[in-house]
Chains A and B, each alone.
Chain A
Amino acid sequence: MTEVLLSLKGLTKAYPGVVANDSVSFDIGAGEVHALLGENGAGKSTLVKMIYGLVKPDSGEMLLRGAPFAPNEPRQARADGIAMVFQHFSLFDALNVAENIALGMENPPKMGDLASRIREVSEAYGLPLDPYRTVGDLSAGERQRVEIIRCLLQDPKLLIMDEPTSVLTPQEVEILFQTLQKLRAEGTSILYISHKLEEIRTLCDHATILRLGKNVGECIPAETSASEMAELMVGAALTPPMRGKRDLGEVAMDISGLSVPAPSAFGTALRNVHLTVRRGEILGIGGVAGNGQDELLSVLSGEVLTDSDAVKLGRAPIGHLGPVARRQLGVLAAPEERLGHAAAPDMSLTENAMLTGATREGLVKNGFLKWTAAKDFAERIIKDFDVRTPGPENAARSLSGGNLQKFVIGREVLQRPEVLVVNQPTWGVDASAAAAIRQSLLDLAAGGAAVICISQDLDELMEISDTFAALNEGRLSSPRPAEGLTVEEIGLMMGGAHGMEVAHV
Chain B
Amino acid sequence: MIRLEKRPQPSRAWSLATPVVAVLATMVAGGMLFGILGKDPVEAIRTIFWEPLFGEFAFYYRPQLLVKGAPLVLIAIGLSLGFKAGIWNIGAEGQYIIGALVGAGIGLAFYPLEAWFVFPLMVIGGAFGGWLWAMIPAYLKTRFGTNEILVSLMLVYVAEQFLASMSLGLLRNPEGHGFPGSRNFNSYEGASSWINENAGMHWGVVAALIAVIFAYVLLNRHMVGYHIRLTGEAPRAARFAGVKPARLILFCLGTSGMLAGLAGLFEVSGPSGQVSIDFNVGYGFTAIIVAFLGRLHPVGILLAGGLMALTYIGGDIAQSNLQLPSAAIQVFQGMLLFFLLAFDLLTNFRISLGKPEVA
Contact = CB atoms under 8 A, between A and B. Distances in A.
B358 interface: yes
B234 interface: yes
B224 interface: yes
B358 A72 contact: yes
A354 interface: yes
B143 interface: no
B242 A324 contact: yes
B355 interface: yes
Interface string A308-333: 00000000000000111001000001
Contact of B355 (A58, A72, A337, A344): A58
B237 A368 contact: no
Contacts of A335: 240
A450 B8 CA distance: 36
A478 to B, nearest CB: 29
B165 to A, nearest CB: 42
A327 B238 CA distance: 15
A345 B222 contact: no
A354 B226 contact: yes
B226 A53 contact: no
A346 B357 contact: no
A401 to B, nearest CB: 13
Contacts of A342: 237, 240
B234 A358 contact: no
A390 B241 CA distance: 25
A355 B243 CA distance: 10
A347 B26 CA distance: 31
B8 A347 contact: no
Contacts of B226: 351, 354, 369
B198 interface: no
Nearest to B235: A340
A344 B230 contact: yes
B8 to A, nearest CB: 4
Nearest to B231: A344
A333 B242 CA distance: 12
A416 interface: no
A322 B242 contact: yes
A397 B244 contact: no
Contact of A344 (B8, B223, B224, B234): B234
Contacts of B237: 340-344, 355
Nearest to B8: A398
Contacts of A16: 5, 350, 352
B358 A355 contact: no
A343 B239 CA distance: 11
Contacts, number: 85
A22 to B, nearest CB: 17
A368 B9 contact: no
A72 B242 CA distance: 47
A259 interface: no
A370 B226 CA distance: 12
A334 to B, nearest CB: 10
A456 interface: no
Interface centre among B226, B230, B236, B237 (most CB of A within 10 A): B237
A333 B239 CA distance: 13
A335 B352 CA distance: 35
Interface in A40-82: 53-56, 58, 72-73
A397 B6 CA distance: 11
B10 interface: yes
A346 B230 contact: no
Interface in B207-249: 221-224, 226, 229-230, 233-234, 236-242, 244
B9 A394 contact: yes
Contacts of B356: 56
A342 B240 CA distance: 7
Nearest to A73: B358
Contacts of A244: none
Contact of B233 (A53, A73, A302, A344): A344
A240 interface: no
A356 interface: yes
A354 B240 CA distance: 12
Interface in A403-436: none
A125 to B, nearest CB: 31
A385 to B, nearest CB: 19
A341 B244 CA distance: 15
Interface in B304-359: 350, 352, 355-358
Interface in B1-27: 5, 8-10
Interface centre among B10, B226, B240, B244 (most CB of A within 10 A): B240
A367 interface: yes
A340 B356 CA distance: 30
Given A343-B237, A398-B9, A322 B244 contact: yes
Contacts of A53: 358
B223 A347 contact: no
B358 A55 contact: yes
Contacts of B352: 16
B81 to A, nearest CB: 16
Contacts of A502: none
Contact of B223 (A56, A301, A358, A394): A358
Given A340-B234, A344-B230, A368-B223, A303 B8 contact: no
Contacts of B229: 347
A323 B240 contact: yes
Contacts of A339: 234
Contacts of A355: 230, 237, 240-241
A367 B225 CA distance: 10
Contact of A340 (B10, B224, B236, B358): B236
A72 B357 CA distance: 9
A355 B242 CA distance: 9
Interface string A285-304: 00000000000000001110
A364 interface: yes
B240 A356 contact: yes
A364 B230 contact: no
B69 to A, nearest CB: 30
A56 B354 CA distance: 13
Interface string A366-403: 01110000000000000000000000001101100000
B240 A397 contact: no
Interface string A132-143: 000000000000
A397 B9 contact: yes
A297 to B, nearest CB: 10
Q: 5 smallest A-B Cβ distances: which pairs?
A: A395-B9, A324-B242, A398-B8, A344-B234, A323-B242
11 contacts: A55-B357, A55-B358, A58-B355, A303-B239, A327-B242, A345-B234, A346-B9, A351-B226, A367-B223, A395-B8, A397-B9
Interface of B: 5, 8-10, 221-224, 226, 229-230, 233-234, 236-242, 244, 350, 352, 355-358
Given A327-B242, A369-B222, A398-B8, 15 more contacts: A16-B5, A16-B350, A56-B358, A58-B355, A322-B242, A323-B239, A323-B240, A335-B240, A344-B234, A354-B226, A355-B241, A367-B223, A367-B224, A368-B221, A395-B10
